[in-house]
Amino acid sequence: MVEKVFLVGPRGFCAGVERAIKVVEDCIELFGKPVYVKHEIVHNKNVVNDLEKKGAITIEDINEVPENSVVVFSAHGSPPNHYEIAKKRNLKLIDATCPLVTKVHLEVKKFAKDGFKIIYICHKNHIEAKGVMGELKTGIYPVESIKDVEELELNGKIIYLSQTTLSVNETKEIIEAIKKKFPNITNPPKEDICYATTNRQAAVKELIKKVELVLIVGSKTSSNSQRLVETAVSAGKKGFLVDSVEDLKEEWFKEIKNVGISAGASSPEKLVQEIVEYFTKKGAEKEELIVLEERMKFIEPFELTKIKKEKTEN
């Protein structure tokens, strides 16, 4: 029987996710139903389902949005041509792209303009990577493994950038391989893996010192949640990704005395607490393990602030 449950912090919603969810809620309040959202606003099915109940409609193709409608672009970022399509269709566009993802888009454009070839460390099929790579037709080279790096043949000015939600350890190994092959490569001006991804992985590394099994609350589509599971498993611990308490399986906990719980950056705290309750009702103790505090906040998109101001004045 599980005797103790450790809740590690930081966990769950990051500033970018909180901002994106609020953008959709504010748009529904300002413009009424429906509000279209291009791609899942964040990669958590419970969040998406809750917003759809309030009046959001999630679509994948910007052309599916009726002309003159309100559309929110998801937190993961979008390629430039999607903005062009939105303009042609006369859509009222509110961009909920996380500012830390926008930073990478701006870096790509800046360094390409300055004549750099860009090695982009990413998961090639992830929506964030597709948006970033959409900034350039040529001159950006996606890599997701050391093998990919070894196959590169580049010369001239080179810089590396990365997706914001990658494994810190895995990315470090790829960066080492890049620097070994291209000794004169330019480092990015600032780390691209976001603070929330880095902090949650660091917290799980502390959590695994106290437990035999780790539960990560998050959806399979969530890159940062998947990386948290990998962090636990790579350290020799049992690790499972669960969307909710309904995904728990009794056989996981045979001969397990200490369970650790964290949550991906797009996972609501209420889902975490439901899982904690599952164990405490069976007699387990609960203990909070706060590794560090987060105080990051992002302001809402400028276009939303402008619309709110106009409505107030009228």
User: Within a 13 Å sphere around the CA of 188, how many CA atoms are in the beta-carbon half?
Assistant: 21
| DSSP strands (E only) in 219-301 | 238-242, 258-263, 285-290
Distance CA 171, CA 176 (A): 9
Q: Which of 18, 40, 107, 128 is catalytic?
A: 128
Distance CA 69, CA 19 (A): 21
Active site residue 128: yes
**CB neighbour list of residue 304: distance below 8 Å, 6 or more residues apart:** 23, 26, 27, 94
**93: β partners:** 71
Stretch (H or E) spanning 209: none
Q: Is 23:300 a contact under the CB 8 Å cutoff?
A: yes
Running DSSP on this structure, what letter comes out for residue 207? H
Q: Classify strands 56-59 and 158-162 as parallel, antiparallel or unpaired.
A: unpaired
Task: Report the sign of the C-alpha dihedral through residues 295, 301, 304, 308, in that order.
Answer: positive
User: Within a 13 Å sphere around the CA of 126, how many CA atoms are in the beta-carbon half?
Assistant: 27
At residue 84, φ and ψ (nearest 5 deg) are: -65, -40
313, 86, 74, 187 alpha-carbon torsion, rounded to 10°: -110
Burial status of residue 46 (CB atoms within 10 A of its CB: 0-12, 13-18, 19 or more) = middle
Question: Which residues are identified as catalytic?
Answer: 128
